[in-house]
Homo-oligomer: A and B are copies of this chain.
Amino acid sequence: MPIPAIETLAAQIGQLPGVGKKTALRYAYHILGMEEGDALGIAAAICDARETVRPCAVCGQYTDRETCDICADPRRARDNICVVSAPADVPVMERTRAYRGLYHVLFGSLSPMDGIGPEDLRVAELLARVQTGEVREVILATNSDAKGDVTAAYLARELEPYGVLVTRIARGIPIGGNLEYTDEITLAQALAGRKEM
């Protein structure tokens, strides 16, 4: 009864993050109901992106050239490196318009439980960049969860011998956040990170 081509399509779509079986099947039926060109456009865009996009030779973020636009931009401050876990974090940071330095993408977080050690991340590449002596500050912008914190702590220790300033992005109550609905750990961190007004 089930049609293999539809089942396969739904299973393939189910690889996307947060897409369950029902949603995947809904997407599959939608793709079948689309104009031919629009449906094949999705497939073509996947193939094209996989062919065109690669990690920047310097920072690791996605680019369609050898070196990404940020690394190649002479107006970016070359003495600042912001370390993030994933390529997707770079556009998020960029949207703040609050950072004018360079990036370094680790492609993951340390996770001994999953067998992911420093050699699985782009740690050596980061240390090599710092070793050039051009870098003044390394901003650790890994996620604010257990793995991100472990990764940040590890990197801070590894970077110590190089005599660069190592900072971690602040934790606290998000803008618009309500004290009543803030979990106690975040609140404790917000309190510890208080500043004179």
CB A143 to nearest CB in B, in angstroms, measures 15
CB within 8 Å of B: which A46-91 residues: 46-50, 52-53, 62-64, 69-70, 86-88, 91
Residues of chain B within 8 A of A88, CB atoms compared: 25-26, 29
Q: Tally A residues with Cβ within 8 Å of B.
A: 50
Complex copy number for this chain: 2
Binds B, one of A12-20, A117-125, A126-134, A187-195: A12-20
Complex Cα distance A69/B2, Å?
9
Q: Is the interface of A mostly helix, strand, loop or mixed?
A: helix
CB A33 to nearest CB in B, in angstroms, measures 7
CB within 8 Å of B: which A15-39 residues: 15-17, 25-34, 36, 38-39
Known: A28-B49, A33-B86. A15 touches B3 (CB 8 A): no
Complex Cα distance A26/B36, Å?
25
Chain A residues close to B by CB (< 8 Å): 1-6, 8-9, 11-13, 15-17, 25-34, 36, 38-50, 52-53, 62-64, 69-70, 86-88, 91, 94
